[in-house]
């Protein structure tokens, strides 16, 4: 099982599990909360067929990676990504992030630059700054996130049920764009994630990425569902164009948070076109 070592806790190594398939230009894909790298199945198949090398990995605390109780912040997440990139000696990369994974994409480029990166893609973007503050009135009130953490503390499985319902807007899309079977598969993956990470990651959603997005100097494609209930379009993707040098925002009409699954055909079409430009 391929892994890279990204740190240690109490003398024990912290490992990230990754998969590396195909030949050609490398595409590194960073998954969303609370899933793992296997959640890219609808994109990986298409990218491999189109001749790309596809690398996915599980964020610390999730999937088959180690489940430490340290390192749940975007500086560490970005350093984890850099360790993977450096270990595999990847160059001319396209970074693709979904949800929390868009934070790794943004912080990596803001901190480490684009020497190894050709382009970037964000699906369900978390930047530029999700928290409502005096200088960020378009953000979301802190009480929403505190309620999330309180629910996780009381009953993590209830929280995951609520989260995954909003992940694909089950009241509207169940049985058409999201089956009961995939919902249960996601729940099983989420339930196996670290309870500590599930809680700790909520605070990471409040990271201020405004300086990072301003520093990005590669072309960026952003796709975001207009009915995203987890990262509202108005508070996230819609705000990015004035803050970035070269970004194209594609709203997915009626799309929920996980458009990579519910609107895979549209996402894959835009993704391939962007990669080939």
In the set 39, 99, 194, 235, the catalytic residue is 99
Active site residue 194: no
In the set 31, 224, 257, 263, the catalytic residue is 257
In the set 36, 80, 212, 228, the catalytic residue is 228
DSSP the chain: --EEEEEEETTEEEEEEEEEE-SSSEEEEEPPTT--GGGGHHHHHHHHHTT-EEEEEPPTTSTTS---SS--SHHHHHHHHHHHHHHHT--SEEEEEETHHHHHHHHHHHHH-STTEEEEEEES---SB-B-BTTBTTSB-HHHHHHHHHHHHH-HHHHHHHHHHHHTTHHHHBTTTB-HHHHHHHHHHHHHS-HHHHHHHHHHTT-B-HHHHHH--S-EEEEEETT-SSS-GGGTGGGSGGG-SSEEEEEETT--S-HHHHTHHHHHHHHHHHHH-
Active site residue 184: no
Active site residue 228: yes
Instruction: List, by residue number, the catalytic residues.
Output: 99, 228, 257
């Amino acid at each position: 099982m391929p892994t890279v070592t990204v740190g240690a806790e109490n003398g024990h190594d912290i490992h990230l599990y990754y998969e590396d398939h195909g030949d050609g230009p490398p595409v590194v894909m960073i998954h969303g909360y609370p899933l793992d790298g296997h959640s890219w199945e609808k994109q990986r198949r298409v990218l491999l067929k189109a001749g790309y090398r596809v690398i996915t990995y599980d964020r610390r605390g999730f999937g088959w990676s180690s489940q430490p109780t340290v390192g749940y912040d975007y500086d560490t997440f970005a350093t984890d990504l850099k360790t993977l990139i450096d270990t595999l000696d990847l160059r001319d990369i396209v970074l693709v992030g979904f949800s929390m994974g868009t934070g790794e994409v943004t912080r990596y480029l803001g901190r480490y630059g684009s020497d190894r990166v050709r382009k970037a893609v964000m699906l369900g973007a978390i930047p530029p700054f999700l928290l409502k503050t005096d200088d960020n009135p378009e953000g979301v009130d802190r009480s929403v996130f505190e309620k999330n953490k309180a629910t996780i503390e009381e009953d993590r499985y209830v929280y995951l049920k609520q989260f995954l319902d909003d992940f694909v807007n089950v009241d509207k899309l169940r049985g058409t764009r999201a089956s009961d079977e995939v919902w249960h598969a996601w729940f099983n993956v989420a339930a196996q994630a670290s309870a500590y990470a599930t809680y700790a990651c909520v605070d990471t959603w409040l990271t201020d990425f405004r300086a990072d997005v301003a520093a990005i100097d590669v072309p960026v494609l952003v796709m975001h569902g207009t009915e995203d209930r987890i990262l509202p379009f108005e508070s996230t993707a819609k705000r990015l164009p004035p803050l970035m040098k070269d970004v194209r925002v594609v709203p997915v009409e009626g799309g929920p948070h996980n458009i990579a699954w519910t609107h895979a055909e549209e996402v894959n079409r835009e993704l391939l076109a962007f990669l080939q430009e």
